[in-house]
Amino acid sequence: MRDAFIRSLTEVAARDPAILLLTGDLGYGVLTDFADRFPRQFLNVGVAEQNMTGLATGLALEGHTVFTYSIGNFPTLRCLEQIRNDVCYHRANVKIVSVGCGMSYGPLGISHHATEDISIVRALPYITVVSPCDRWEATEATRALALQSGPTLLRLDKSSAPELNEPAEMFRIGKARIVRQGRHVTLVATGGILGEALTAADLLASDSIQCRVISMHTIKPLDVDALIASATETGGIVTIEEHTVEGGLGGAVAENLLEAGALPGFFLRIGLRSGFSSVIGSQQYLRHVHGLDATAVAQSVRSCLAGSPHQYVARACA
Amino acid sequence: MSATIFAPSTDASGSPHSHSRELARRVRIHVLRMTSRAGASHIGSAFSSADILAVLYGHVLRGRPTDSRWPARDRFVLSKGHAGSALYAVLAECGFFAVERLETFYQDGSELCGHVSHQGIPGVEVSTGSLGHGLSIASGMAFAAHLGSSSHRVFTLLSDGECDEGSTWEPALFASHHCLDNLVAIIDFNKIQSLAPVTDTLALEPLASKWTSFGWAVRDVDGHDHGALARVLGAVPFEKGKPSCLIAHTVKGKGVAFMEDTVLWHYRAARGEEFDRALAELETTE
- Identify the helix (H) or strand (E) that includes residue A146: helix A135-147
pLDDT at residue A144, rounded to an integer: 97
Residues A53 and A89: beta-carbon distance below 8 Å: no
Euclidean distance between the first and the last CA atom of chain B, given in angstroms as a whole number: 31
Mean pLDDT, range B156-179, rounded to an integer: 98
How distant is the Cα of A46 from the closest Cα of chain B, in angstroms? 8
Whether residue B4 is predicted with pLDDT greater than 90 in this model: the reply is no
- Residue ranges per domain, chain A? 2-156, 177-317
Say if A2-156 and A177-317 have the same CATH topology: yes
Cα–Cα distance list, A58 to A117, B4, B276 (Å)? 24, 23, 42
Which band of pLDDT confidence, cut at 50, 70 and 90, is reported for residue B14? low
Domain residue limits at B205: 18-283
Query: Best residue in B133, B152, B169, B177 to probe A by mutation, most A CBs within 10 Å?
Result: B133
Mean pLDDT, range B243-248, rounded to an integer: 98
Which band of pLDDT confidence, cut at 50, 70 and 90, is reported for residue A315? low
ipTM topping 0.85 = yes
Cα distance between residue A1 and residue B204, in whole Å: 46
pLDDT digits (tens, 9 = 90+) for B101-119: 999 999 999 999 999 999 9
Mean pLDDT, range A183-196, rounded to an integer: 98
| Interacting residues of A86 by C-beta distance below 8 A, sequence separation 6+ | A53, A54, A57, A92, B126, B133, B136, B137
Mode of pairing for the β-strands spanning A185-189 and A267-272? unpaired
Q: Report the residue from A40, A45, A85 with minimal CB separation from B133.
A: A85
Mean pLDDT, range B15-37, rounded to an integer: 94
| Nearest partner of A195 among A245, A237, A158, judged by Cα | A158
Interface A-B, measured as beta-carbon pairs within 8 A, has a size of 87
Whether residue B244 is predicted with pLDDT greater than 90 in this model: the reply is yes
Task: Note whether A90 contacts B: Cβ–Cβ < 8 A.
Answer: yes
pLDDT digits (tens, 9 = 90+) for A220-276: 999 999 999 999 999 999 999 999 999 999 999 999 999 999 999 999 999 999 899
| Nearest partner of B250 among B180, B159, B168, B151, judged by Cα | B159
| Interacting residues of B30 by C-beta distance below 8 A, sequence separation 6+ | B85, B88, B89, B92, B93, B99, B102
Task: Note whether A116 contacts B: Cβ–Cβ < 8 A.
Answer: no
Contact A51 B132 (CB under 8 A): no
Task: Note whether B143 contacts A: Cβ–Cβ < 8 A.
Answer: yes
Q: Report the residue from A45, A58, A60 with minimal CB separation from B138.
A: A58
Question: Which residues of chain A does B125 touch, with a Cβ-Cβ cutoff of 8 Å?
Answer: 61
Cα distance between residue A13 and residue B130, in whole Å: 33
Task: Note whether A89 contacts B: Cβ–Cβ < 8 A.
Answer: yes
Cα distance between residue A254 and residue A267, in whole Å: 8
Cα–Cα distance list, A215 to A176, A194, A220, A291 (Å)? 6, 7, 13, 19
- Tell me how crowded residue A302 is: count the other CB atoms within 10 A of its CB: 17
| Nearest partner of B260 among B47, B83, B55, judged by Cα | B47
Q: What is the DSSP letter of A272?
A: E
How distant is the Cα of B261 from the closest Cα of chain A, in angstroms? 31
pLDDT at residue B236, rounded to an integer: 98
Task: Note whether A56 contacts B: Cβ–Cβ < 8 A.
Answer: yes
Residues A250 and A241: beta-carbon distance below 8 Å: yes
Q: Report the residue from A46, A54, A62 with minimal CB separation from B144.
A: A62
Determine the residue of chain B that is closest to A63 in CA distance. Answer: B144
Q: E strands along A145-255, which residues?
A: 152-156, 177-180, 185-189, 211-215, 218-220, 237-244
Mean pLDDT, range A44-53, rounded to an integer: 98
Task: Note whether A38 contacts B: Cβ–Cβ < 8 A.
Answer: no
Whether residue A145 is predicted with pLDDT greater than 90 in this model: the reply is yes
Which band of pLDDT confidence, cut at 50, 70 and 90, is reported for residue A167? confident
The reply to whether CATH 3.30.559.10 applies to domain A2-156 is: no
Task: Note whether A220 contacts B: Cβ–Cβ < 8 A.
Answer: no
pLDDT digits (tens, 9 = 90+) for A64-86: 999 999 999 999 999 999 999 99
Contact B147 A40 (CB under 8 A): yes
Determine the residue of chain B that is closest to A79 in CA distance. Answer: B167
With a CB-CB cutoff of 8 Å, which residues 113-142 of chain B face chain A?
118-119, 125-130, 132-133, 135-142
Look at chain B and report how many structural domains it folds into.
Answer: 1
For chain A, what is the mean pLDDT? 96
Contact B136 A85 (CB under 8 A): no
pLDDT digits (tens, 9 = 90+) for B65-79: 999 999 999 999 999
Q: Report the residue from A58, A61, A85 with minimal CB separation from B130.
A: A85
Cα distance between residue A212 and residue B53, in whole Å: 62
Euclidean distance between the first and the last CA atom of chain A, given in angstroms as a whole number: 33
Radius of gyration (C-alpha) of chain B in whole angstroms: 18
Which band of pLDDT confidence, cut at 50, 70 and 90, is reported for residue B17? confident
- In this structure, is residue B196 part of a structural domain? yes
pLDDT at residue A134, rounded to an integer: 97
Whether residue B233 is predicted with pLDDT greater than 60 in this model: the reply is yes
Whether residue A314 is predicted with pLDDT greater than 80 in this model: the reply is no
Mode of pairing for the β-strands spanning B217-222 and B183-189? unpaired
Whether A11 is catalytic: no
| Nearest partner of A251 among A174, A297, A188, judged by Cα | A188
How distant is the Cα of B17 from the closest Cα of chain A, in angstroms? 32
Whether residue B280 is predicted with pLDDT greater than 80 in this model: the reply is yes
Which residues are registered as beta bridge partners of B247?
B187, B220
Query: Best residue in B69, B147, B152 to probe A by mutation, most A CBs within 10 Å?
Result: B147
Half-sphere exposure of A300 (CA within 13 A, CB side): 30
Question: Which residues of chain B does A50 touch, with a Cβ-Cβ cutoff of 8 Å?
Answer: 132, 136, 166-167, 170
Contact B139 A64 (CB under 8 A): no
pLDDT at residue B285, rounded to an integer: 83
Cα distance between residue B160 and residue B183, in whole Å: 18
User: Rounded to two decimals, what is the model's pTM?
Assistant: 0.96
The reply to whether CATH 3.40.50.20 applies to domain A177-317 is: no
pLDDT at residue B1, rounded to an integer: 40
Question: Which residues of chain A does B136 touch, with a Cβ-Cβ cutoff of 8 Å?
Answer: 50-51, 53-55, 57-58, 82, 86
How distant is the Cα of B271 from the closest Cα of chain A, in angstroms? 32
pLDDT digits (tens, 9 = 90+) for A175-188: 999 999 999 999 99
Mean pLDDT, range B204-228, rounded to an integer: 98
CATH number of domain containing B35: 3.40.50.970
Question: Which residues of chain A does B145 touch, with a Cβ-Cβ cutoff of 8 Å?
Answer: 62
- In this structure, is residue B174 part of a structural domain? yes
**What is the share, in percent, of chain A residues with pLDDT greater than 90?**
94
Choosing from A11, A49, A246, A259, which is the catalytic residue?
A: A49
- In this structure, is residue B8 part of a structural domain? no
- In this structure, is residue B11 part of a structural domain? no
Whether residue A210 is predicted with pLDDT greater than 60 in this model: the reply is yes
Contact B171 A54 (CB under 8 A): yes
